[in-house]
Amino acid sequence: MAYEFYYWPWIQGRGEVVRLALEYAGASYVDIGRGSEDDGQGVAAIRAFLASDAAQPQPYAPPFLKAGDMVISHAANILLFLGGWHDLAPADEAGYLWAHGLQSMVSDFVKEIHDTHHPISNALYYEEQMEPAKLRSEHFLEIRAPKYLGYFERVLAGNPAKSGYLIGENPTYPDLSIFQMVAGLRYAFPKAMARIEPDFPMASRLHDTVAALPRIAGYLASERRIPFNEKGIFRCYPDLDD
């Protein structure tokens, strides 16, 4: 079965952690938003799905994954599903839920990162909220980013396996997501991360370890990896990078 993954084709955004998991698992999937409208794919297919009156559960917005007859929405929920099917999470209940809890923390982190450049409303352009964005970014870089990175640093240090991963001996989907967080923060706040990141060496090493995993390295070098840009979660606005 090939999964159908629905997300916007011009950004990594909230969907990238799902792409990373699918790539690492070697799963067969179609990135619907990036397909041709002549083949019934593309953005038109995403919008048509969201507007459908079908009886199946309707997601509010991308990302969502179609697996056979199932439709799974929200990145953390999709990863919960993929973790069980592709050995991307521990098999025992406690470990399975622990991985989901870590991913839920990533979701919280993503929200705060997004709000650095859109602290008032998504309906306003960045240029319409630049001063609040600068204040929000200062607080984020001084307090919130170190708090999140510090938490994941403690989890890495506390893993009894001492593997350099968050859980057990092998990579799990939260490890892939932490890679994405560090990579995105390096793009969005290069000066601030040069200052902050040395305090979190295990998170930095995890980023580098994940980037070197063969399937992830292949993905990162391919055209399937959409470059960071100023339409996604991680945006490089020099005025915010202090």
- In the chain, residues under CATH classification 3.40.30.10 are 3-85
Amino acid at 31: D
Cβ-contact 57, 48 below 8 angstroms: no
The DSSP H or E segment spanning 4 is strand 3-6
Query: What DSSP string describes 15-68?
Result: GHHHHHHHHHHT--EEEGGGS-GGGT-HHHHHHHHHH---SSPPPSSS-EEEET
Which residues belong to CATH 1.20.1050.10 in the chain?
Answer: 93-227
Give, for all 242 residues of the chain, the pLDDT tens digit.
799 999 999 999 999 999 999 999 999 999 999 999 999 999 999 999 999 876 667 899 999 999 999 999 999 999 999 999 999 999 999 999 999 999 999 999 999 999 999 999 999 999 999 999 999 999 999 999 999 999 999 999 999 999 999 999 999 999 999 999 999 999 999 999 999 999 999 999 999 999 999 999 999 999 999 999 999 999 999 999 98
Confidence at residue 242, expressed as pLDDT on a 0 to 100 scale: 84
What class has domain 3-85?
alpha beta
Class assignment of domain 93-227?
mainly alpha
Query: What gap in Å lies between CA 37 and CA 7, rounded to an integer?
Result: 14
Query: CA–CA separation, 106 vs 147, rounded Å?
Result: 12
